[in-house]
């Protein structure tokens, strides 16, 4: 059991998303930063798709009522136990009765807390992800509130081995003496270069807009959330006004409403959209998008789908290696 002593700004339970129901208009949701979510799971000996806690900008205070292995990945929300910083990107044993307190984000904006076994909430349409607007999934379909009690599912053998290795009766927590390879850690800053493929309606935009899109920076607006990011930069105009036929949109689709200010769609995006899409963010850079906050600068660099898929294949290989390493080290 985990007790929420004080909730953060927006703590929601997320997994890899609600797949298979978009044809019924059901939003996919899932972790905004799928990479950090997955690494957090792997580090505690989970399979990868278990539900974690996604925390945004200001995190909660959590009381652990049992000995448990956790890991925290993603943005730095200053996790501490009894004032002592808890290291990120590695497994951490937490002794029962300890209180894990998150603060405000000092790098990035979203952190993921994985627990060995995963956070146990009912599965709704194949997923444990919270979709607040429709009040489905996660913890009663909403963000966590002070006083909520979270259950933990049964851990794997690997998790049990990690716990045995790190377990202590002395300190409130003990972190592993290793962490994931530096090449896997995201670079968090205030300026991000993001790989983008041309969108399905790229050719409908005029030359000046296409140039501006690739060569000028965009600023993340405060009107940004799990559904989408509004960004401000050079106005993007079509060669001629056309009414588009609504079609499917996806995570990372950059659509441009008539006012010329683009919206980047994110995890809680609607399933279909009727605005032209100038670009599509490469999956490899969802982490950067998820970690960007209001005021941060985004610059778009063109990639082809071939390059984009190669990068994803490479990341997949790295994560498989990480998983293999952990399951050999702890058994």
Partner 1 sequence: MMYNLSPLGDQAVVIEVDTEISQLAKKNVKSIVACLNAANPPWMIEYIPAYTTVTISYAVELDSCETPYDFVCSEINQLLANVKEVSNSHREIVRIPVLYGGEHGPDLDFVAAHNGLTTEEVITIHTSGEYTVHMIGFAPGFPFIGGMSEKIAAPRRETPRLEIPARTVGIAGMQTGVYPIASPGGWQLIGRTPIELFLPTEDPPSLLTAGDRIRFYEITPEQYKEMRGDVE
C-alpha distances (whole Å) from 266 to each of 27, 31, 210, 287 are 11, 10, 22, 11
Return the residue of 1, 82, 123, 133 that touches partner 1, per CB under 8 A.
Answer: 133
- Per CB under 8 A, the segment of 97-105, 175-183, 224-232, 312-320 that binds partner 1 is 312-320
Give 1 or 123: the residue with its C-beta nearer to partner 1.
123
Looking at the chain, the number of H-run helices and the number of E-run strands are 5, 22
The DSSP 8-state label assigned to residue 227 in this structure reads S
Interaction between residue 290 and partner 1 (CB under 8 A): no
User: Considering only 15-23, 53-61, 164-172, 217-225, which stretch makes contact with partner 1 by CB under 8 A?
Assistant: 15-23
User: Which candidate, 267, 12, 28, places its Cα nearest to that of 145?
Assistant: 12
User: In the complex, what is the shortest distance from the CB of residue 310 to partner 1, in angstroms, rounded to a whole number?
Assistant: 8
The neighbouring-strand residues paired with 238 are 205
Say what angle helices 157-166 and 305-329 make with each other, to 10 degrees. 60
- Minimal distance, residue 18 CB to partner 1, in Å: 10
User: Toward partner 1, which CB reaches closer, 51 or 72?
Assistant: 51
248: CB partners within 8 A, 6+ apart:
22, 271, 272
Q: Residues 44-83 vs partner 1: string with x where CB under 8 A?
A: ----------------------------------------
Which of 78, 232, 250, 297 is in the footprint of partner 1 by CB under 8 A?
250
Token pair for residue 111? 């952190």
Contact with partner 1 (CB under 8 A) among 190, 211, 246, 301: 246
* Per rule CB under 8 A, count of chain residues that contact partner 1: 41
Closest CA to 242 of 278, 205, 212: 205
Phi and psi based region of residue 67 (left: phi greater than 0; alpha: psi -120 to 50; beta: remaining): beta
Nearer to partner 1, 134 or 184 (CB): 134
Q: Which residues pair with 214 in a beta bridge?
A: none
Q: Is 215 in the site for partner 1 (CB under 8 A)?
A: no
- Tell me if 100 contacts partner 1 by CB under 8 A: no
- Which residues, 6+ apart, have CB-to-CB distance to 192 below 8 Å? 285, 288, 289, 292, 296, 297, 298, 299
Contact stretch for partner 1 (CB under 8 A) within 66-74, 83-91, 148-156, 250-258? 250-258
Regarding 321 and contact with partner 1 (CB under 8 A), the answer is no
Tokens 């920076």 correspond to 217
Residue numbers at the binding site for partner 1 (CB under 8 A):
19-27, 124-125, 133-136, 197, 200, 245-253, 270-272, 280-283, 305-306, 308-310, 312-313, 316
């Amino acid at each position: 059991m985990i007790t929420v002593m004080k909730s953060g700004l927006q703590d929601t339970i997320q997994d890899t998303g609600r797949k298979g129901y978009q044809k019924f208009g059901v939003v996919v949701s899932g972790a905004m930063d799928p990479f950090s979510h997955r690494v957090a799971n792997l580090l505690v000996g989970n399979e990868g798709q278990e539900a974690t806690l996604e925390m945004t900008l200001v995190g909660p205070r959590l009381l652990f009522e049992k000995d448990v292995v956790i890991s925290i990945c993603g943005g730095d929300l200053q996790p501490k136990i009894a004032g002592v910083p808890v290291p990120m990107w590695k497994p951490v044993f937490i002794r029962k009765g300890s209180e894990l307190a998150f603060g405000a984000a000092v790098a990035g904006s979203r952190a993921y807390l994985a627990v060995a076994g995963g956070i146990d909430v009912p599965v709704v349409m194949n997923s444990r992800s919270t979709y607040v607007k429709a009040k489905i999934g996660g913890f009663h379909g909403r963000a966590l509130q002070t006083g909520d009690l979270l259950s933990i599912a049964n851990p794997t053998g690997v998790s049990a081995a990690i716990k045995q290795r790190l377990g202590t009766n002395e300190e409130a927590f003990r972190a592993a003496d290793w962490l994931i390879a530096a090449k896997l850690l995201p670079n968090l800053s205030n300026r991000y270069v993001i790989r983008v493929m041309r969108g399905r309606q790229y050719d409908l935009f005029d030359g000046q807009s296409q140039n501006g899109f690739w060569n000028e920076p965009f600023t993340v607006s405060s009107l940004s959330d799990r559904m989408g990011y509004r960004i401000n930069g050079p106005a993007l105009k079509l060669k001629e006004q056309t009414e588009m036929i609504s079609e499917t949109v996806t995570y990372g689709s950059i659509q441009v409403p008539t006012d010329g200010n683009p919206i980047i769609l994110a995890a809680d995006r609607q399933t279909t959209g009727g605005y032209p899409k100038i670009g599509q963010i490469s999956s490899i850079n969802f982490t950067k998008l998820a970690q960007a906050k209001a005021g941060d600068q985004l610059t778009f660099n063109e990639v082809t789908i071939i390059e984009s898929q190669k990068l994803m294949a490479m990341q997949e290989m790295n994560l498989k290696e990480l998983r293999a390493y952990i399951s050999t080290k702890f058994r």
